Amino acid sequence: MPAGPSASRRTVLRGAAAAPVAGLGLAACSAQGAGGPDAAAPTAPVELGVESEIAKGAAKLYRDHNVVVSRDRTGALKAYSTICTHAGCPINKLRGTTLICPCHGSEFDAVTGKVVQAPATEPLTELSVKTAHGRIVAGPAA
């Protein structure tokens, strides 16, 4: 009966094929979100945008560079890495001056870098920021 062993082998293969898919689903959920596993804050200074686009008390998220820049009430600029300090997801949402991580819901204050909602416990990594010819340049802390 040649059909018997062949059919059961197909069944086994189908079962084996389903397992990696489930594994990938878990990995995608727990790991890096939209930015992929290599998402990182700049390792060298990057030009982000026009200085005037950030008003006092406001913030702007530069998703492509994983950086948020904010301006406090005195007019001073601050920049932070938006790689979440909980498990490394790139943060992709800014509501007002609150950054919201898509992976487990941690929230950070974009003006101070501090955690405002767990599960993260560590503040965002501060970056250096300056303006050059009216444009914002951020990079690793000096």
Contacting positions for ligand FES (CB under 6 A)? 84, 86-89, 101, 103-106, 119-120
CA–CA dist 140, 134 (Å, integer)? 20
Smaller CB separation from ligand FES, 103 or 110: 103
- 109 closest CA partner among 118, 97, 126, 101: 97
Q: How many CB atoms lie within 10 A of CB 27?
A: 11
| Token pair listed for 123 | 């503040």
Smaller CB separation from ligand FES, 54 or 92: 92
**Closest distance between ligand FES and the C-beta of residue 16, in Å?**
31
Report the nearest approach of ligand FES to the CB of residue 122 (Å): 11
Q: Which is nearer to ligand FES, 85 or 97 (CB)?
A: 85
